[in-house]
Amino acid sequence: MPIIRKGARPAGPKPISLALQGGGAHGAFEWGVIDRLLEVEAIEIKAISAASAGAMNAVAVTAGLIEGGPPGARTKMEQLWKAVSQGGGQFLGGNLLGSFGAHWMENNPAYRYLESLTATVSPYDFNPLNYNPLQDILRSQIDFAAIRERSPVALFISATAVRTCEAKVFSACELTAEHVMASACLPAVFHAVDIEGEAYWDGGYLANPPISPLAEADARDVLLVLLNPFVAKTTPKTAADIAARLDEITFNAPLVAELRVVAAVHALVKKGVLKTGPGYQLLRFHMIDADGRLNDLKASSKTNVDWGNLNDLKRRGRAAADEWLKHDFAQVGETSTVDLLKALP
């Protein structure tokens, strides 16, 4: 089974794997979570699986670890998000007005026009030259050659194969800027990203993030960092809120499906129906999610890359990580701190 793996618990810092969900500019919440974790000497990040904005965080952490250990990773993540802010962040959600503020955008006719444009007109028509600022940002900020040659963590970046409807997972040894662009490619905004003759869209459609590859990593504890709420407090009524909730459901679906399988196998093992076998144990799961922490934000905040907004999201992420460290970190290496059957809808 993909959720069981071999290996004894090593001495020293507690090894963990990170599973980073996509979520546009809300990826800055993940930035805050990881920034706080990197301050803890008792934690060693051994693997990262990610999609979309999570993939951007994943390569930034990895490149930074190569350049300067945990402090280097913190610096690299800040540099990447600052470049995103300065670049306008169009690739994070498809509007060209993202840096002017979420509340202003939602009431602006120009924003509404651009929003409807991306919903009704192909990017092959309104963006014929396939302009994508993420390409220049990634190539200027991330040393992909170093990641391919000496990544200190196991990396798993997902993308959606357009023709075959398959979740493709790319590993560290093959990563380029194009792989991350593919993982973050919103089909209503940009042309599909071509990699070796195959076209790819956002990885969040089929693996957000992929869980199974983490079974082969050198850490049995998986920390899920989730951006999209499973449960909405109210029924959306406006067109923008309906579209936003539909996106949340769509991008949560593959993760829910994969974790349901994990939870079912855990339950069968607990009942004694399945045996893990000598030398094998189930992965342990932990969770830091944005539920309740971003509820005051408008749907358009996912495309708001104003530097103040990104830092606010980072602050919220750090606070969430602080709470997790206080209440759950002691159990890492011992037992799961999230009941998947209860946590999933």
C-beta separation of 223 from 16 below 8 A: yes
Q: How far apart are CA 88 and CA 340, in angstroms?
A: 37
- Count of CB atoms situated within 10 Å of the CB of 3: 22
Q: How far apart are CA 345 and CA 338, in angstroms?
A: 14
Q: What is the pLDDT of residue 99?
A: 37
Q: What percent of the chain has pLDDT over 70?
A: 86
At 79-111, the pLDDT tens digits run 999 999 988 655 554 433 333 344 444 554 444
Q: What is the pLDDT of residue 104?
A: 41
Q: What is the pLDDT of residue 231?
A: 84
At 270-290, the pLDDT tens digits run 888 877 665 456 899 999 999
User: What is each CA distance from 83 to 60, 71, 173, 227, in whole angstroms?
Assistant: 12, 19, 25, 21
At 29-68, the pLDDT tens digits run 999 999 999 999 999 999 999 999 999 999 999 999 999 9
Mean pLDDT of 183-194: 91
Residue 301 predicted with pLDDT over 60: yes
In this prediction the pTM is 0.88
Of 20-34, 63-77, 101-115, 145-159, least confident by mean pLDDT is 101-115
The DSSP secondary-structure symbol of 293 reads: T
At 248-266, the pLDDT tens digits run 889 899 999 999 988 888 7
Angle between helical axes of 53-87 and 133-141 (0-180°, round to 10): 100
Q: What is the pLDDT of residue 118?
A: 53
